[in-house]
A = this chain, B = another copy of it.
Amino acid sequence: MPTNPTIGVFDSGFGGLTVLRALLPRIPGAHYIYLGDTARLPYGAKSQTTIARYAVESARFLEQRGADYLVIACNTATALALPEIRAAVSIPVVGVIEPGAKAAAAALIHKICHPEPSAKDLLSHPGDTTQSVLVLATQATVHSHAYRNACAHLGLHTTEKACPLLVPLVEEGWTDHAVTRDVLRIYLTEALSLSAPQAVLLGCTHYPLIAAEITAMLRTLGSSAEVIDSAEATAAEVARQVDISPLAETAPATFECFATDSVEKFQRLGSHFLGQPIPRVELLDLGG
């Protein structure tokens, strides 16, 4: 009889809890170990060598702790250190970028089979027949072009738009707020002036918390693009890799959380990202 799987989920902070939230209902009986390397965030401004070292330390901790699978729920670590992480552990590793790109491709194929172009799409870019994706992400993720490269492998044309204010707005708790809508209007107007995307890919683990606001603003601006949540796409990819058939009758999934600093902040802010209270966070020292 197979034992229930243990799945390690790693992020530089608590944003990756949106990936854990998407995972929890998908694999019955699974146990999740979430590690937020909060003492060393943000990874975005650091060099590739430093990020790879940090990510490998975290990946090894999760493997030693008993993880059978590893989810890198961090765009920066996925973009800059996925090969190093895969080389450092002996368990399957799923990053957050490729599943997002694949979900965008699937959405576009669906749109080609069931086209519903808006008047704005046709009017503003009448000669543009390219299947194009707009990627919204942090400055660091855009700078890495990791989504553009992953989408290019699938034959998709991408426009990448850095949205530096969205993470602090979400962390301030202003998810349903006039200022956030104003900022979205500015960012999305700029992005839509450059392309007429059929899909908008949320390339940051904070953005699922304002997915509804992003969709609403796209509609206001005349775009019918489908919004793709890479947290959901990543969870779906993990569920495909884990054989859940023998587990159908087991108990609900469970989870435990580790953070490398500021346990209180992790608990307070993290519960918004997870969509449920986090009863306990354990402090972990991974060094300087």
For chain A residues 32-66, which have a beta carbon within 8 Å of chain B? Answer: 38-39, 41-42, 45-47, 50, 53
> Cβ of A154 < 8 Å from any Cβ of B?
no
> Cβ of A243 < 8 Å from any Cβ of B?
no
Task: Report which of B50, B182, B288 forms a contact with A50, defined as CB distance below 8 A.
Answer: B288
A46–B13 CA distance with the chains assembled, in angstroms: 13
For chain A residues 167-203, which have a beta carbon within 8 Å of chain B? Answer: 167-169, 171-172, 178-179, 182-183, 186
Task: Report which of B39, B168, B169, B172 forms a contact with A45, defined as CB distance below 8 A.
Answer: B39
What would 12 more interface pairs be, CB under 8 Å, given A42-B42, A165-B172, A179-B179? A39-B45, A45-B262, A45-B265, A50-B261, A50-B288, A53-B288, A164-B172, A165-B165, A178-B182, A179-B186, A182-B182, A287-B288
A45-B38, A262-B45 as given contacts; A171 in contact with B179, CB under 8 Å: no
Is there contact, CB below 8 Å, between B261 and A46? yes
| Chain A residues proximal to chain B, CB less than 8 Å | 38-39, 41-42, 45-47, 50, 53, 164-165, 167-169, 171-172, 178-179, 182-183, 186, 261-262, 265, 287-288
A168-B164, A168-B165 as given contacts; A261 in contact with B182, CB under 8 Å: no
Q: Which residues of B sit under 8 angstroms from A53, Cβ to Cβ?
A: 288
Is there contact, CB below 8 Å, between B261 and A45? yes
Q: Which residues of B sit under 8 angstroms from A50, Cβ to Cβ?
A: 39, 261, 288
A198–B50 CA distance with the chains assembled, in angstroms: 47
A237–B68 CA distance with the chains assembled, in angstroms: 59
Minimum CB distance partner of A179 in chain B:
B182
A41–B50 CA distance with the chains assembled, in angstroms: 14
What's the nearest-Cβ distance from chain B to residue A38, in Å? 6
Q: Which residues of B sit under 8 angstroms from A38, Cβ to Cβ?
A: 45
What's the nearest-Cβ distance from chain B to residue A237, in Å? 30
Q: Which of A45, A169, A178, A183 neighbours the largest number of chain B CB atoms within 10 Å of its CB?
A: A45
Is there contact, CB below 8 Å, between B165 and A47? no
Minimum CB distance partner of A180 in chain B:
B179
Is there contact, CB below 8 Å, between A171 and B164? yes
Q: Which residues of B sit under 8 angstroms from A164, Cβ to Cβ?
A: 168, 171-172
Q: Which residues of B sit under 8 angstroms from A39, Cβ to Cβ?
A: 45-47, 50
What's the nearest-Cβ distance from chain B to residue A250, in Å? 37
17 sampled A-B residue pairs with Cβ under 8 A: A39-B47, A41-B45, A45-B262, A50-B261, A53-B288, A164-B168, A164-B171, A164-B172, A165-B165, A165-B169, A167-B168, A168-B168, A178-B182, A179-B179, A179-B182, A182-B182, A287-B288
